[in-house]
Amino acid sequence: MRFKLLRRRLTISAPRMKVRSALPWPLRCAGAAIVLGFCAAIGLWAFELGKDIAGVDRAAKEELVRLREEVAGLRMERDRVQSVINTSSSTLTVERAAQDRLTAQIRALEAQNRALREDLGFFEKLIPASGTEAVAIRALQAEVLSGTQLKWQVLVIQPVKNAPEFRGKLELSLSGTLDGKPWLMALPGGPQALQFRQYRRLEGMVDLPPQAVVKNVSARVVEGSVSRAVQSVSL
């Protein structure tokens, strides 16, 4: 009987047997994770060591340092160029302002020069002329502006030294055509009072009727009912 049992255990017909571990599956998973982590750490260490040996990481660091230096240099160059641009813009603004001021001054000087030339020409006529007349119209000027106004100017003098005071009136008349017909117009407001000792300059503006064409301007100095001086100018 014992022999049969022993033979059954030693032959193919022996019953199957399973061997089970005494460790639970969570501990086995933890152990596997530890082994995998250890292997990964060894692999990373080997990779870094290989890069150090080959000089790849050192070259990358050197390239990174070089690129950072280039970026810093480019930023400095950009700041310098921006500073130059700002300075140039400020200088250009100052130059434009100075040019505008010079232009305004030149225009003012030109206007002053024209006024001085007019005054010079006007006062040159104050030089006494040959003759013994007591009152004289030395200058009569007239100009039509924009076709609707006439500007006139008269210089009256007494070309003698220590002249007595003159009291009289200035009459001004315009002649020409209006709508193709002869036209005559006196100074609006009537004659102007005239009182002076050596010289007197009178001027004014006259509004012209529409379609009026001024061809002649005449000035006359009257003392009482006596005409002392007459002068005309054609336009």
In a structure prediction context, what are the per-residue pLDDT tens digits for the chain, which is 235 residues long? 555 555 555 555 555 555 555 556 666 676 677 777 767 777 666 666 665 655 555 666 777 778 888 888 888 888 888 888 888 777 778 788 888 888 888 888 888 888 777 766 666 555 555 545 578 888 888 888 877 888 989 988 887 777 788 889 999 999 999 888 898 988 888 888 888 888 888 888 888 888 888 899 999 999 888 888 898 988 8
Residue 32 belongs to a domain: yes
The reply to whether 118 and 143 lie within a common domain is: no
- Asked if residue 218 and residue 198 are part of one domain, the reply reads yes
Contact 227, 171 (CB under 8 A): no
Residue 62's φ and ψ, nearest 5 degrees, are -65, -40
- The CATH number assigned to the domain holding 202 equals 2.60.40
79 and 38, same structural domain?
yes
Give the total number of structural domains in the chain: 2
**In terms of domains, do 86 and 151 share one?**
no
Q: Examine residue 30 and state whether it is found in any structural domain, yes or no.
A: yes
Single residue among 84, 104, 124 that ends a domain in this structure: 124
Helix (H) or strand (E) holding 149: strand 149-157
Q: Is residue 90 part of a domain?
A: yes
Domain-embedded: residue 7: no
In degrees to the nearest 10, what's the CA dihedral of 153, 159, 165, 166? -50
**H-run or E-run covering 8:** helix 2-10
- The predicted model scores a pTM of 0.45
- Same domain flag for 94 and 177: no
Give residue 199's domain range. Answer: 136-234
Q: Is residue 84 part of a domain?
A: yes
d(CA 142, CA 193): 20
Of 233, 229, 230, 231, the closest CA to residue 158 belongs to 229
83 in any annotated domain: yes
Distance CA 207, CA 148 (A): 6
